[in-house]
Amino acid sequence: MDSAITLFMAGDVMTGRGIDQVLPYPSDPAIHEPYLKSARGYVKLAEEANGPIQQPVDFSYIWGDALDELERRSPDVRMINLEASITGSDDYWEGKDFHYRMNPKNIACLTAATIDFCSLANNHILDWGYSGLRETLEVLKKVKVKNAGAGQTLKEAGAPAVMEVHGKGRVIVFSFGAGSSGIPSAWGASETEPGVNLLPDLSKRTIDSIGEKVRAVKARGDIVVASIHWGRNWGYEVPPDQISFAHGLIDEAEVDIIHGHSSHHVKGIEVYQGKLILYGCGDFLNDYEGISGYEAYGDDLTLLQAQCTTRCAEKEKGGLGFSLTNRTQRIDVTGHMVNGLIKSLENKISC
């Protein structure tokens, strides 16, 4: 298994608001929400639920026991969907109810977990305006964390991140956002304007367009990941158009893994044609502690990683393979199934 490439794939990492406030360099706590006007309110809710938080916390604190697990697994590439603008900008996007901002001086909370890649095509990356996006890109570049999905132009936003895994191969990640996740249409990047890599729709034409971009960079043995921010925050149903789009990316666009996010809880998982589809990884880090009403969804549990390899692929195609008896297998997640989901997948997916 020396040639195996292991990916850590987490869903939403929301380091703004309450999380930012307990880190060593909190931002101005002022927020512009319907019910709260200070991000300190989220810290108070967490403390009311589970006791005082000794502040400031260490940069590694927010990852909890996950850092030990990551050390044990030692994945080759660590991927997250970053749902916060890393900026000191006060230029919040008017008309949005929620805005996530992390002080750039707190960037060590990402490097503490040795994050390699951040997907940025989501509904919070422009919460603090175009200046906030620009600073986010600059900060990530400075600490050598690769990203995709947002940029100063559509070309930049649509460009993939390419990560070399020494002695094993390359992982290429394209990042896309869908309007169904709450991304404002005005956030879409253009040839001359900054923004996110917004999908026009989930049609075959869009699949074909993505396929052209994939084939322009994919070489034999590469693993291509489509990181997609799509769908509602709550609800287990996976819409038929998402299923057909994911299948199309695999069948026609040479994508190997679908890394889906936006849902605050784990959603359905499928192995289709030997390729992994994560329809919704669930939140990994947020400041919802102490906020009640959604316990039935098991939103405190998330899917973290899958082991992938080119070794068991079809040699003539140089593609990626997951060894399973059935070519197509979907696991539909409901509340009572969540607890055993990750352990079950570890037993099912292997090369």
When pLDDT is cut at 50, 70 and 90, the band that residue 159 belongs to is very high
d(CA 207, CA 253): 6
Query: Is residue 176 scored above 90 in pLDDT?
Result: yes
When pLDDT is cut at 50, 70 and 90, the band that residue 43 belongs to is very high
Say what the pLDDT of residue 11 is.
93
The pLDDT of 266-292, averaged and rounded, is 91
Query: Is residue 298 scored above 80 in pLDDT?
Result: no
Query: Is residue 307 scored above 70 in pLDDT?
Result: no
CA-to-CA separations, 237 to 80, 143, 265, 273, 279, in angstroms, rounded: 23, 38, 12, 21, 10
When pLDDT is cut at 50, 70 and 90, the band that residue 333 belongs to is very low
Which residue has better confidence, 189 or 72?
189
Domain segments of the chain: what residues? 5-348
d(CA 227, CA 119): 7
β-partners of residue 285 are 13
d(CA 274, CA 276): 7
Query: Is residue 312 scored above 70 in pLDDT?
Result: no
d(CA 234, CA 299): 9
When pLDDT is cut at 50, 70 and 90, the band that residue 335 belongs to is very low
When pLDDT is cut at 50, 70 and 90, the band that residue 303 belongs to is low
Q: What's the whole-number average pLDDT of the chain?
A: 87
* Percent share of the chain, pLDDT over 70: 84
When pLDDT is cut at 50, 70 and 90, the band that residue 172 belongs to is very high
When pLDDT is cut at 50, 70 and 90, the band that residue 292 belongs to is confident
Give me Rg for the CA atoms of the chain.
19
Say what the pLDDT of residue 305 is.
54
Query: Is residue 103 scored above 90 in pLDDT?
Result: yes
Fold of 5-348: Purple Acid Phosphatase; chain A, domain 2 (3.60.21)
Q: For 75-96, what is each residue's pLDDT tens digit?
A: 999 999 999 999 999 999 999 9
Residue type, 212: E
Query: Is residue 133 scored above 60 in pLDDT?
Result: yes
**Distant-in-sequence, close-in-space partners of 326: CB < 8 Å, separation ≥ 6:** 271
The pLDDT of 110-131, averaged and rounded, is 98
Q: For 47-67, what is each residue's pLDDT tens digit?
A: 999 999 999 999 999 999 899
pTM of the full structure? 0.89
When pLDDT is cut at 50, 70 and 90, the band that residue 268 belongs to is confident
Say what the pLDDT of residue 306 is.
52
Say what the pLDDT of residue 300 is.
62
CA-to-CA separations, 322 to 4, 224, 271, in angstroms, rounded: 11, 14, 8
In contact, 193 and 133? CB cutoff 8 Å: no
Query: Is residue 351 scored above 80 in pLDDT?
Result: no
Q: For 196-243, what is each residue's pLDDT tens digit?
A: 999 999 999 999 999 999 999 999 989 999 999 999 998 889 999 999
Which residue has better confidence, 1 or 96?
96
d(CA 52, CA 190): 46
Query: Is residue 340 scored above 60 in pLDDT?
Result: no
